[in-house]
Amino acid sequence: MYVLPEPNPNHLLAALPADERARLAPHLEPVSLALGEVLYEPGDTLRHVYFPTDAIVSLLHVIQNGASAEVAVVGNEGLVGIALFMGGESTSSRAVVQSAGGALRLPGHLLKAEFNRHGDLLLLMLRYTQALITQMSQTAVCNRHHSIDQQLCRWLLLSLDRLHGNQLNMTQELIANMLGVRREGVTEAAGKLQRQGVIEYSRGQITVLDRAQLERLSCECYRVVKTETDRLLHYTRRQDE
């Protein structure tokens, strides 16, 4: 039987009361998520939810010609697969692993059963969903009104918030696909940040050297998403993390 570590590496699971965690724990399966792995495609019937521990998953919308753009990122603050308890069973987005790492996988019917107990998990999942909707809405605004430079800063900050260190393993081509922009635009924006001493980029690895400056260069979209996420999920933050 799997035993949840303390402190739990996923904030949603950590925020559950002990009795609810105990009911879910035997069914949580530790899995490794590889960079670029697709957890589900648009229209797939969802069978599991994933609680990332140190992986990051991108939710992307794909248009008919195959082009895509990221609408949200999910890390250790949340879960992948909200359609299961929202009643849709499937979703129009694609879930792709943006940063390799671990997750805890749970059969969807067990999450729904706990959700239908109308206990703390229900409230927690609804608050998380509201935070995710805020991120999606703000991403849409950002993609329409802000420069690639600002979008890149926002994207880097959201990714950093879901990792333990200051490094991301990510190619510029993959970032361009996430943002739905040309690779040349990302190359130019990343070059500016590197010349300013904000990041260091080498062979697919981005190291953030000056987070404070990165936040100053970002648009307000990052702060809006972070403020709302912290407000809705404040009780998932542990003092020892």
What SS3 class is residue 221?
helix
Cα–Cα distance, 73 to 214 (Å, whole number): 18
Q: Are 12 and 77 in contact (CB under 8 A)?
A: yes
Cα–Cα distance, 157 to 151 (Å, whole number): 10
Confidence of residue 57 (pLDDT cuts 50, 70, 90): very high
pLDDT single digits (tens) 13-53: 999 999 999 999 999 999 999 988 999 998 888 999 999 99
Q: Which of 45-54, 168-177, 221-230 has the lowest mean pLDDT?
A: 168-177
Task: Give the tokens for residue 52.
Answer: 């990332």
Residues above pLDDT 70, as percent of the chain: 94
Domains and CATH numbers, the chain: 11-142+227-236 (2.60.120.10), 147-218 (1.10.10.10)
Q: Is the pLDDT of residue 5 over 70?
A: no
Q: Which of 24-28, 30-34, 179-183, 196-200 has the lowest mean pLDDT?
A: 179-183
Confidence of residue 240 (pLDDT cuts 50, 70, 90): very low
pLDDT value of position 214: 92
Taking the model in full, what pTM does it have? 0.85
Query: Based on the number of CB atoms within 10 Å of its own CB, is 201 exposed (0-12), middle (13-18) or buried (19 or more)?
Result: middle
Q: Is the pLDDT of residue 115 over 80?
A: yes
Cα–Cα distance, 142 to 150 (Å, whole number): 8
H-helix or E-strand spanning residue 134: helix 120-145
Cα–Cα distance, 124 to 112 (Å, whole number): 13
pLDDT single digits (tens) 209-225: 999 999 999 989 889 99
